[in-house]
Structure 1
């Protein structure tokens, strides 16, 4: 049974501070939520905009070569080839497929760094922070 807040001494009435572990979990959950938007295709790319009637064409605005899909943006758009080489190199060959880029925890940091470097979604999302290097899920 808990005591009523009014019965507690004043210093004990404040809510408990957020632990470092919980703050890290909240941060990772928010990153996962943002990454899921890429996986569902509900991302501000021309193909999505055309589908919802916000653009006349699905053609990639940076290269004009193909429809701007998630696959085109992440894997084939010539405009972002240098960013791809820099940010996905640590993933090796597996960094060349959507399954890895959109589902692997190891790919989350390179993926978000790529998104930030291209600046393609900065107007909508701002800079997306990459997860901390630490893989620890608790402080015990």
Structure 2
């Protein structure tokens, strides 16, 4: 039998600080997730469509503009349909915003990274401080609310 607490998947980019912080918060809950480095193993069209539906965002809301082909392809133009935007993300996975986390409690684009805390079935095991020095979990494993 599979332990549902471990059924966590992260669509991860190790070059992204937000993605690294999110991954470490998942691990801080005592779970080693399935890690999909989506730039190396991009989701197919059907998987991407299912992710978008699970997250509850539009394809346009999942687009990443910073540091991508977004401007070159003029993806901010309103005439691009959702299907066309999905096709762009399938062809150029760098256009997908990240990290995306899927757990038994749902799916979410985890920007900022602490959004993952609402999706984790297990509590944080110890304090956690993000790479930039911002503390997000205290020594009791409780989220620090600002």
- Bigger radius of gyration, 1 or 2? 1
The interval holding the TM-score normalised by the smaller chain is under 0.3
Normalised to the residue count of structure 2, the TM-score between the two structures is: 0.23
Structure with bigger strand share is 2
Greater fraction helix: 1
